Amino acid sequence: MNFAQKIAKESTITFFGMVYGNINRYLYTALLARWVGIEYLGIYALANSIMLISEVMGKMGMESGVMRFVSRLNMDTDSKNIQKIIASALKMTASFSLLIMIGLIFSARYIVTKILNGQPILTTVMIVFAVAIPFNALTSVSAFATQGFKRLKYKTLVIQFLNPTLLLVSMILCFWFVSMESAIMAPMLITGVIVFFIMIVLLKRVSGVTNNQIRQARFDTELLKFSYPLMFIIILQTIMHWMDILMLGYFTDAATVGLYHPAVRTAGLLNALIVSFISIYAPIMSQLHNEGDFSEMSHLYKLVSRWMITFAIPISLVFIIYPTKMMLLFGPDYMAGASVLVILTVTTFIQAAFGAASPALSMSGFTHLILWNSLGAFILNIVLNVALIPKYGILGAAWATLISLVAIGIARVIEVRWILKLSFISSKMIKPLLAGAVTWWCLWWIRPIVINFHTLATLLFVSTLSILIFGIGLWIMKFEPEDKDFLAGLGILKKSLKKKGK
């Protein structure tokens, strides 16, 4: 397989996994929204955002570090070194995440009463979520370690299939047979523990690392030096991602957070496209940079950027033209978040357009530069949230996210161009943009006709129509040679699945 076919095969595995995972998480949020109400959904969103930020601190950037270090070694001749790296990463992650867990448990009441002015139940939810942090952190690092072998099926199976399935099923069971309160806190811990043990077994199968190696492992200072700047980067990115939720919790109340959260979850469905391509693109870029093949790096940078824009257009158009229908999936009380969905969808689409720049920098070793970028965007995001949320509420939070993420995206694109001499712009992008313009016109023209249909019927019809019109437009303008390689990669994936089925 060439790189285009490899990206097609592996990103498709990740994409379908993320589609399944996001549908489950979307259904999870929708059911919670309908069953527990806006205020309890806001409590869940606040506790979840704090847990995810704490989890990033517990991982110390090890997930990206272990993926990069493993991807640069030969799994046949360097198996012992790979096992040492993985064992050290897991031991450091366990140590740091346990410290973070303890710190969050003891500070939970202070955060709730002094900062968020929340209800006592938020303290309980935070403590339960804190216990899940070490399990989630170790699962994530283990999954990224398997990704370093340029195999995404294990990470996809656990993170995108098992995790959301267990989360959804356990939430339903808790709500039906225990209590409404248990439905917003217990599933996170139950899922974290089960998924951790499954991921560790898969990691051992792929890498050969043993429990004894993990116990006896020393802290790898080289891995730590590379990873800890990434930790600050990921912390800043995670805080930025959840900053609107946290700031809304600070300036308003849990009910406002509950109104905002479904729009975030809906726009976040587009992230499946970004992550599915970046997951395999990042280790390949690391390999190419290590080999000094800048010509192929340039080709892949343009290719992945175009593919992410292409796949994002038809979904984005549905969210932007029919936002009220999307929010009705959560119930009539959430229709006020339609304008927020439009802003956040534009934000996520721009992230898809600029998304290939960040891995190009990080996999080339410019982690400190990414850190300064993230710090600048983080400060900008805080300033904008403080200025806009008190005056404009959820719309202010959405605009703050849009402006700060567009700023950091532009900065990274410029830096990749200046430092690595790579540009994501190519004449081949004209075709998907033209096809997108035609699709937009068609969806807007039929809007008065279909808007009064049942919500599910409208969304199913316009989503199918958007994909169909966009696909026909690309076909009429003729696919590029790399697109045929993409389809060939899908053929390779299909054949491999058939072999495994026999």
| 195, 135 contact by CB (below 8 A) | yes
> In angstroms, rounded to a whole number, what is the distance separating the alpha carbons of residues 359 and 144?
14
Neighbouring C-alpha atoms within 13 Å toward the C-beta of 361: 27
| 262, 33 contact by CB (below 8 A) | yes
The 10 Å CB-count burial string (b at 16+, else e) for 22-38 is bebbbebbbbbbebbeb
Q: Would you give the DSSP letter of residue 331?
A: -
Whole-model pTM: value is 0.71
Tokens in use for 137?
Answer: 């952190």
Query: What is the residue-level pLDDT of the chain in tens, covering all 502 positions?
Result: 456 566 566 656 666 777 788 788 888 988 988 898 888 888 998 999 899 889 988 888 888 788 878 877 777 778 888 899 899 999 999 999 999 999 999 999 999 988 887 788 999 999 999 999 999 999 999 998 988 786 777 888 898 889 999 999 999 999 999 999 999 999 999 999 999 999 999 999 888 899 999 988 888 888 877 777 767 777 777 777 778 888 888 888 888 888 898 888 888 777 766 666 666 676 677 777 777 777 878 878 888 888 888 888 998 999 999 999 999 988 888 888 899 999 999 998 998 888 788 878 877 777 778 778 888 888 999 999 999 999 999 999 999 999 998 998 899 889 988 888 888 888 888 999 999 999 999 999 999 999 888 888 999 999 999 999 999 998 898 877 666 655 554 444 344 434 444 4
Give me the helices (H) in 208-270, please.
Answer: 211-216, 221-251, 254-267
Sign of the Cα pseudo-torsion (426, 276, 351, 441, in order): positive
| 135, 193 contact by CB (below 8 A) | yes
The predicted pLDDT at position 202 comes to: 93
Tokens in use for 83?
Answer: 């096992």
Between helix 254-267 and helix 3-59 the angle, nearest 10°, is: 160
The 10 Å CB-count burial string (b at 16+, else e) for 136-161 is bbbbbbbbbbbbbbbebebbbbbbbb
The 10 Å CB-count burial string (b at 16+, else e) for 83-117 is bbbbbbbbbbbbebbeebbeebbebbeebbeeebe
